[in-house]
Amino acid sequence: MEELTFNDRKTIMTSDIKDLRNFLEGRKSILITQRYISNLAKKFIAENLLISEFFDIEDGEEAKNLGTVMSIVDYLGKNNIGRFDCLISFGGGSASDVVGFTASIYKRGMELAIIPTTLLSMIDASIGGKNGIDIGGTKNQIGTFYQPGIVYSNVNFLKSLSEIEYKSGLGEIIKYGLSTDRNLLSFMINHIREIEARDEKVLKSIVTRSQKIKMGIVKEDERETEGIREVLNVGHTVGHAIESSSGFKIRHGIAVVYGMLVECELSIKFGLAEPSLCNTIREIIKKFNFPVLERFNINEIIKYITNDKKIKGGKINFPALKGIGETEIIRIDVRDFLREVKDEKIWLAR
Ligand SMILES: NC(=O)c1ccc[n+]([C@@H]2O[C@H](COP(=O)([O-])OP(=O)(O)OC[C@H]3O[C@@H](n4cnc5c(N)ncnc54)[C@H](O)[C@@H]3O)[C@@H](O)[C@H]2O)c1
């Protein structure tokens, strides 16, 4: 068990069910899960006997809207749930985004527990207190920063995850390795077979290391005001644009892996990285058997980058890969950045 302390809230990070039991003791607890995994949630509740109520929501991104928020709020109100009772998100990042947001506004903030069940949510979405829902087709248009009281991670949940969702989570872990922790990346490459087999011990190790990296960064920059959290955006400037231009058919972590490759080519152009770094990323994509993405619509991608939230005053803060485990945030004129992105060569070098 580890504790993350923020200005006004404290988060317990644990993989021990006893910590979750202690946390929920004496409160009513309402578990919200994604419809597709409601059997997994029921099994969890039956085995652990600690949840008072159960409620399911739409699957995936479909749930991240005001309608879901209102249905949860309605349910809480009708069942006399108070602010010291606990809302539990059981599922992936889509669930924790909508449940976290609801917990942050219900009675001006009620207790929140997160039980991440996808690899991506275990190492990313459940940590750091950001939540969000989509409005009018725009992702995370509204949201708050609201730290959960506890995050309970159990890698055994990952056994039933589809291969593509699993790869998406691995993509974000590779990002942690490439951007900040060379040892994590070597460990992954040396344990590729165990990772493929979803070996519990190896998974625990890479999940814990990734969680520590994210915790370390958000502790220093909870509200994204210090520029420190920007290092987490490696691969995301281009990755988000790839994901959006595919109409979200390409899963997030997979788009990020290809985003890192293209951004690495940009880093070379900006004189920050050596070509061997891009070769390393290419080898990783092959070794981990990431799906091959055939064709990108560069014009669409440019459109999405132009609307990137990270652009301020005509400049973009770009976390540039410099070497394995090394990142530098550079501030660059958007026009110069886009001129380089338009160069087809950096896209063909896959
Ligand atoms: N708030 C943050 O800091 C943050 C960070 C990263 C991503 N996100 C958000 O997270 C969302 C993506 O989250 P995600 O990748 O976890 O996907 P997801 O929550 O959309 O879930 C993907 C699919 O996996 C299924 N699933 C979940 N657990 C499973 C299990 N154990 N076995 C089998 N199937 C399971 C779900 O039912 C769903 O169909 C996006 O909306 C993104 O914006 C938020």
Considering the domain architecture, whether residues 10 and 132 belong to the same structural domain is answered as yes
Range of the domain at 208: 163-348
The per-residue pLDDT string of the chain (350 residues; one tens digit each, 9 = 90 and over) reads 888 887 778 899 999 999 999 999 999 999 999 999 999 999 999 898 777 788 899 999 999 999 999 999 999 999 999 999 999 999 999 999 999 999 999 999 999 999 999 999 999 999 999 999 999 878 899 999 999 999 999 999 999 999 999 999 999 999 999 999 999 999 999 999 999 999 999 999 999 999 999 999 999 888 888 888 899 999 999 999 999 999 889 999 999 999 999 999 999 999 999 999 999 999 999 999 999 987 788 899 999 999 887 888 999 999 999 999 999 999 999 999 999 999 888 886 55
CB atoms within 10 A of CB 179: 23
Residue 134 alpha carbon, nearest atom of ligand 1? 41
Number of domains observed in the structure of the chain: 2
Single out the residue in 111, 142, 160 at which a domain terminates. 160
Single out the residue in 160, 176, 203 at which a domain terminates. 160
Question: Would you give the DSSP letter of residue 24?
Answer: H
Q: How far is the C-alpha of 16 from the C-alpha of 297, rounded, in Å? A: 45
Q: Whose CA is nearest to atom 13 of ligand 1?
A: 93
Nearest of 232, 51, 3 to residue 130 by alpha carbon: 232
How far does residue 118's CA lie from ligand 1's centre (Å)? 6
**Residue 71 sits in a domain of what CATH number?**
3.40.50.1970
Pocket of ligand 1 (CB under 6 A): 34, 36-37, 40, 59-61, 64, 91-95, 97, 117-118, 120-121, 124-125, 128, 130-131, 139-140, 157, 160-161, 165, 168, 252
